[in-house]
């Protein structure tokens, strides 16, 4: 079983270079043919057991076979690669003054005269040095006859060198199996210092010696040389390209660039403003291309997508960036399920991480089911411990419902089976803290013992309820019961948080399997409520956005404006391992309905959206679309802790740029040009 596969190894970008991380027991079986089917480039093979496969026949060019086995734990690293013949045009060396890069030399290059360029990574005794670039590292041997004239002792590390030399096999015993180039070295013929670096660089790029993040952001161009960032940025480019190939070449979509200088969208996030030469008049930077893509539908660009730059001034939310990227999609004459299928195709065709192709279709559940089973609208389905609805039992004891209407009362249980019964004090405290934040419901934790029916919980539940619960949940001595009841929505939220906190605790105590960030637990959640009250003002707001169409079955309620909060919309989210990575909806295409929703339900001044209303009224097809947060999605693919790790030049979490120090003061002339003055806050 392959556990991890990259399109390209961390340091290689030759189109045909792959690194497979595979568990032991690789055979000539189906994984390799699946890998083939999913990768249209040439690779050669590689392993004793699969020498007889048909793969070599598929290779167009002269190939070499090589296997690096690197047993570490129960994981075997398989280096699958097509070795590039020196006579062949290696794409990443095209248009450069090198013949090879620092990651590609192998025994097949022995005796060739080569030129490589890169960063001086390390040198020892003026006998050896290593040269590094974005593709790898190569060892250079300084022959005695050159040692007098070549003195690298005065050349600071990270200086840029150009090396001419001849490839030789390393002497027996000196091979480095951890380095792809580790079987060879280059005997120096000539070295030229192209650009000397400062004597001591402010940060180190080595993984084990990492500086604090802010310092790394300040010297981002140095940090970018690290294996991790090289891999993330190169992988990001590859994934987005695969998405484009699928959208354009396979599905006939048109990529359209829409403006970012626009006017304010009412009812959304805080938008940056841009003053203009017209006094008092401002552009706003778009928070998404939503209005433009709907107008494109009216404009007969019926299959639109864009890798779109979006802007939100959300200084306070963690791990956000003032500018970010989304895969933005819209199409006409479609429906919810078709959009879901399209997105599954996009992700499957660009799926890079697992040797196993992405399994589609994804599971699809309603918002109501998600809340009932997981207490959250973005369930992490990598583990069980689902909520069980025990409302019917709990409400037999009127003391427990405390007068709550049957309609809004709810009770949910999570049962952890033996041997999880012992809850440590830290867990109890955590759960208590969580439960205290939910005022309108109650949480109890109870270890099931032999004479549980005589325990204190029975005082609370009453004899009948406790007995029924014991039967219904088949509680056994050793089990742990987590029970919440009260206002239903709030109890769901509470138990959703309890479920996650409980599993975190089990995981930290090694009582359950670790959740893997590369698990394929994708899930569609649909039929969200259309409106929900703002927590502060109590006014109804759109759960998705104001352009979302209502569920067809709930049209009458919307027109009568009764039960507005139970109206479902045609919106849906895509959830991966408990993280929402995108959302979409079928839109309102009827101008009168859109106006009614804006005016009468949301009370948003429709003058701000007159152009969109006009577009709906001038011949607009039914349409719908989706947006994927690409920074977040790619960070998850790279198992990166923050979206900053997959963005070339991110701002820090407070919106500042440690590199350029932006934002900065501007001149008075510039303020005058834009008719603004800074208001002194002091």
Kindly state the smallest distance separating residue 301's Cβ from its own copies, in Å.
6
Region of residue 171 (left: phi > 0; alpha: psi -120 to 50; beta: else)? beta
Contact by Cβ (8 Å): 598, 347: no
Kindly state the smallest distance separating residue 662's Cβ from its own copies, in Å.
4
DSSP H stretches of helix in 212-274: 213-218, 220-223, 227-244
Kindly state the smallest distance separating residue 677's Cβ from its own copies, in Å.
5
Choose between 263 and 395: whose C-beta lies nearer to its own copies: 263
Kindly state the smallest distance separating residue 277's Cβ from its own copies, in Å.
6
Choose between 70 and 91: whose C-beta lies nearer to its own copies: 91
Choose between 521 and 595: whose C-beta lies nearer to its own copies: 595
Supply the DSSP symbol for 247. Answer: I
22 CB-near residues (< 8 Å, 6+ apart) = 1, 2, 3, 75, 76, 77, 78, 355
422 CB-near residues (< 8 Å, 6+ apart) = 447
Supply the DSSP symbol for 402. Answer: T
Choose between 184 and 285: whose C-beta lies nearer to its own copies: 285
* Terminal C-alpha separation, the chain: 64
Alpha carbon distance 579, 575 (integer Å) = 5
Alpha carbon distance 50, 30 (integer Å) = 11
R_g of the chain, CA atoms, integer Å: 30
- Burial of residue 671, with CB atoms counted within 10 A of its CB: 0-12 exposed, 13-18 middle, 19 or more buried: middle
Kindly state the smallest distance separating residue 102's Cβ from its own copies, in Å.
10
Supply the DSSP symbol for 382. Answer: T
Choose between 375 and 584: whose C-beta lies nearer to its own copies: 584
Kindly state the smallest distance separating residue 602's Cβ from its own copies, in Å.
18
Kindly state the smallest distance separating residue 72's Cβ from its own copies, in Å.
26
609 CB-near residues (< 8 Å, 6+ apart) = 265, 266, 291, 598
Choose between 222 and 414: whose C-beta lies nearer to its own copies: 222
Choose between 238 and 421: whose C-beta lies nearer to its own copies: 238
Closest CA to 289 of 545, 610, 650: 545
Residue 663, preceding peptide bond in cis (omega within 30° of 0): yes
Choose between 128 and 262: whose C-beta lies nearer to its own copies: 262
Kindly state the smallest distance separating residue 220's Cβ from its own copies, in Å.
7
Kindly state the smallest distance separating residue 334's Cβ from its own copies, in Å.
5
Supply the DSSP symbol for 317. Answer: S
Kindly state the smallest distance separating residue 640's Cβ from its own copies, in Å.
16
Alpha carbon distance 322, 654 (integer Å) = 9
Kindly state the smallest distance separating residue 152's Cβ from its own copies, in Å.
15
Q: Please list, residue by residue across 454-469, b when 16 or more beta carbons sit within 10 angstroms of its beta carbon and e when fewer do.
A: eeebbebbbeebbebb
Choose between 264 and 521: whose C-beta lies nearer to its own copies: 264
Choose between 248 and 408: whose C-beta lies nearer to its own copies: 248
Choose between 124 and 281: whose C-beta lies nearer to its own copies: 281
Alpha carbon distance 436, 493 (integer Å) = 12
Kindly state the smallest distance separating residue 236's Cβ from its own copies, in Å.
8
Helix (H) or strand (E) holding 467: helix 463-472
Alpha carbon distance 328, 310 (integer Å) = 10
485 CB-near residues (< 8 Å, 6+ apart) = 390, 391, 394, 400, 401, 409, 410, 411, 412, 441, 442, 491
Choose between 113 and 384: whose C-beta lies nearer to its own copies: 113
Closest CA to 394 of 383, 406, 380: 406
Choose between 172 and 277: whose C-beta lies nearer to its own copies: 277
Residues facing 132 on adjacent strands: 119, 137
Kindly state the smallest distance separating residue 623's Cβ from its own copies, in Å.
10
């Amino acid at each position: 079983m392959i556990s991890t596969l990259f399109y390209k190894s961390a340091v290689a970008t030759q189109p045909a270079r792959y690194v497979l991380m595979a568990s032991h027991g690789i055979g000539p079986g189906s994984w390799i043919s699946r890998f083939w089917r999913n990768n249209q480039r040439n690779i050669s093979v590689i392993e004793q057991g699969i020498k007889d496969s048909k793969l070599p026949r598929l290779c167009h060019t002269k190939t070499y076979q090589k296997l690096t086995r690197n047993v570490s734990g129960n994981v075997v690293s398989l280096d699958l690669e097509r070795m590039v013949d020196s006579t062949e045009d290696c794409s990443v060396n095209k248009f450069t003054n090198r013949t090879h890069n620092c990651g590609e030399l192998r025994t097949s290059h022995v005796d060739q005269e080569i030129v490589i360029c890169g960063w001086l990574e390390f040198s020892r005794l003026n006998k050896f040095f290593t040269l590094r670039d974005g593709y790898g590292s190569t060892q250079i041997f300084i022959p005695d006859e050159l040692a007098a004239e070549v003195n690298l002792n005065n050349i600071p590390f990270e200086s840029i060198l150009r090396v001419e030399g001849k490839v030789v096999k390393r002497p027996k015993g000196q091979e480095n199996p951890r380095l792809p180039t580790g079987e060879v070295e280059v005997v120096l013929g000539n070295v030229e210092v192209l650009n000397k670096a400062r004597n001591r660089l402010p940060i180190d790029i080595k993984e084990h010696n990492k500086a604090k993040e802010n310092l790394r952001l300040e010297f981002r161009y140095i940090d970018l040389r690290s294996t991790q960032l090289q891999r993330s940025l190169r992988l990001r480019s590859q994934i987005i390209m695969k998405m484009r190939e699928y959208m354009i070449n396979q599905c006939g979509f048109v990529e359209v660039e829409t403006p970012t200088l626009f006017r304010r969208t009412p009812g959304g996030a805080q938008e940056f403003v841009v003053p203009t030469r017209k006094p008092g008049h401002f552009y706003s930077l778009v928070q998404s291309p939503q209005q433009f893509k709907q107008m494109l539908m009216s404009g007969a660009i019926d299959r639109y997508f864009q890798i779109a730059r979006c802007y939100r001034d959300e200084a306070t939310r963690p791990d956000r960036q003032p500018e970010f990227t989304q895969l933005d999609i819209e199409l006409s004459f479609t429906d919810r399920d078709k959009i879901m299928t399209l997105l599954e195709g996009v992700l499957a065709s660009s799926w890079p991480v697992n040797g196993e192709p992405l399994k589609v279709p994804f599971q699809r559940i309603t918002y109501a089911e998600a809340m009932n089973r997981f207490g959250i609208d973005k369930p992490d389905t990598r583990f069980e411990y689902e909520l069980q609805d025990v409302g019917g039992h709990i409400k037999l004891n009127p003391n427990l419902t405390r007068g709550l209407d049957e309609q809004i009362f709810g009770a949910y249980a999570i049962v952890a089976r033996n041997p999880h019964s012992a809850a440590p004090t830290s867990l109890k405290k955590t759960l208590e803290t969580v439960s205290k934040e939910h005022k309108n419901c109650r949480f109890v934790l109870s270890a099931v013992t032999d004479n549980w029916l005589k325990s204190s919980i029975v005082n609370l539940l009453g004899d009948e309820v406790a007995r029924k619960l014991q039967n219904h949940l088949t509680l056994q001595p050793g089990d742990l019961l987590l029970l919440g009841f009260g206002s239903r929505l709030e109890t769901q939220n509470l138990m959703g948080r309890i479920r996650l906190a409980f599993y975190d605790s089990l995981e930290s105590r090694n009582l359950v399997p670790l959740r893997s960030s590369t698990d394929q637990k994708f899930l569609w959640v649909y039929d969200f409520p259309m409106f929900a009250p703002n927590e502060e003002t109590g006014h109804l707001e759109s759960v998705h956005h104001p352009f979302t169409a209502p569920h067809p079955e709930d049209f009458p309620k919307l027109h009568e404006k009764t039960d507005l909060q139970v109206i479902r919309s045609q919106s849906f989210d895509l959830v991966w391992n408990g993280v929402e990575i995108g959302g979409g909806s079928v839109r309102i295409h009827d101008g009168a309905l859109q106006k009614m929703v804006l005016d009468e339900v949301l009370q948003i001044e429709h003058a701000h959206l007159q152009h969109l209303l006009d577009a709906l009224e001038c011949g607009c097809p039914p349409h719908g679309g989706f947006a994927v947060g690409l920074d977040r999605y790619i960070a998850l693919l790279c198992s990166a802790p923050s979206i900053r790790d997959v963005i070339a030049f991110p701002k820090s979490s407070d919106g500042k740029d440690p590199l350029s120090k932006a934002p900065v003061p501007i001149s008075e002339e510039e303020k005058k040009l834009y008719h603004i003055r800074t208001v002194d806050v002091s």
